[in-house]
Amino acid sequence: MPGKARQAFQQTLIRTKKSYADDAKKSMPKSVAKRYTPTIDYTISKGETPDALEGEVGPNIERYGGKSGKGGLLPSFGFLDDPDAAGGIRTAPSRARQRAEKFAADELVKGIEIAAEQSMKARGL
């Protein structure tokens, strides 16, 4: 099942990235969303053990010009998605990250169940 599990994991990251960006775009002011949501990226890498995988989904502040580059995502935009943000910003946190985390957890369970089922079926079980 290792190949199927990796595929399920990667699909979860891809779907979470899209869901996160779509949700953030809907829940943030348009002036912010147009710079924030295109920077939602995902990464996948090997974990601490040979068969482990790690993944991240979230804003990439280095994309589109970097922290201070023209058109870049400013680091403060991350606070718009921080559930613990303490004032000092003009809008309430969107909580898009929290919804993305729940989406990813649910999606991963579904993906692994499908991967296990496909692997067993391929082996005639």
Domain assignments of the chain as residue spans, ordered by start: 2-120
Predicted confidence (pLDDT) at residue 73 exceeds the cutoff of 80:
no
HEC readout, the chain: CHHHHHHHHHHHHHHHHHHHHHHHHHHCCHHHHHHHHHHEEEEEEECCCCCCEEEEEEECCCCCCCCCCCCCCCHHHHHHHCCCCCCCCCCCCCCHHHHHHHHHHHHHHHHHHHHHHHHHHHCCC
Amino acid 107: pLDDT: 93
Amino acid 66: pLDDT: 47
Predicted confidence (pLDDT) at residue 97 exceeds the cutoff of 90:
no
Q: Look over the chain and give the mean of its residue pLDDT values, rounded to a whole number.
A: 76
Predicted confidence (pLDDT) at residue 58 exceeds the cutoff of 70:
yes
Amino acid 27: pLDDT: 73
Amino acid 92: pLDDT: 59
Cβ atoms of 8 and 108 closer than 8 Å: yes
The rounded distance, in Å, linking the Cα atoms of 36 and 26 is 12
Predicted confidence (pLDDT) at residue 34 exceeds the cutoff of 50:
yes
Amino acid 70: pLDDT: 54
Predicted confidence (pLDDT) at residue 77 exceeds the cutoff of 70:
no
Tell which wins on pLDDT, 39 or 55: 55
